[in-house]
Amino acid sequence: MAYSDKVVDHFNNPRNMGSFKKDEEGVGTGMVGAPECGDVMKLQIKVQNDMIVDAKFKTFGCGSAIASSSLATEWLKGKTIEEAQKIKNTDIVQELNLPPVKIHCSVLAEDAIKAALADYQKKADGTTSAAK
């Protein structure tokens, strides 16, 4: 099975690889795994005034998993929290031209986005209630 050009490009030149400190202000961390294949994905967002100003990822897995998370961080940057919620795995499949056997990689990326957003929300709620 051949990877699409876009997958190869993200794989060879992954965007936004790395990580933020978990406890840094405005950082949300999503950590997900696919127990079927053993892939692990960590996706982080940095939020300022409801806007995602930066995003980073680290992925242990196949080329499609790396490409999916790389693309996800690219898309996340500059989006509001609300807009980010709307990113669907099918968008990733379409953009990267993923074959059916690799759809689970895009699902993992969507899960990672959701988990990062939820983590950010949880932290933000905690800060506001602590301030009250």
Partner 1 sequence: MDHQHTHSSNPRELQMARSMCWHCQSEVSGEYFCDRCVKVQPVSKETDYFTCFGFPRRLTIDPGKLEAKFYELSRAFHPDFYQNKSETEQSISFGNAATLNSAYRTLRDPIQRVEYLLDLEAGSVKEIRNSPPADLFEEILELQDTLDEYRASDRASDAGQQLRTTLQAEQQTLEERKRDMETQLQQLFTDWDLLQDRGEATSQARSERDRLLKQMRETLSNRTYVKSIINDLVATIG
Considering the complex, what minimum distance in angstroms separates the CB of residue 107 from partner 1? 10
* Residue of 6, 33, 54, 99 interacting with partner 1 (CB under 8 A): 33
In the residue annotation, 62 being an active-site residue is answered as no
Instruction: Give the span between the Cα atoms of 117 and 29, in whole angstroms.
Output: 8
* Residue of 12, 38, 90, 122 interacting with partner 1 (CB under 8 A): 38
* Number of shown-chain residues binding partner 1 (CB under 8 A): 12
* Residue of 9, 15, 31, 74 interacting with partner 1 (CB under 8 A): 31
Is 58 a binding residue for partner 1 by CB under 8 A? The answer is yes
User: Binding segment for partner 1 among 2-10, 37-45, 84-92, 95-103 (CB under 8 A)?
Assistant: 37-45
Q: Which of 34, 87, 28, 30 is nearest to 64 (CA)?
A: 34
| Contacts of 102 by beta carbon, 8 Å cutoff, 6+ apart | 62, 64
Phi and psi at 73, nearest 5°, equal: -65, -35
Instruction: Give the span between the Cα atoms of 27 and 120, in whole angstroms.
Output: 6
In the residue annotation, 105 being an active-site residue is answered as yes
Instruction: Give the span between the Cα atoms of 110 and 131, in whole angstroms.
Output: 32
Is 35 a binding residue for partner 1 by CB under 8 A? The answer is yes
Q: Which residues are catalytic?
A: 37, 105
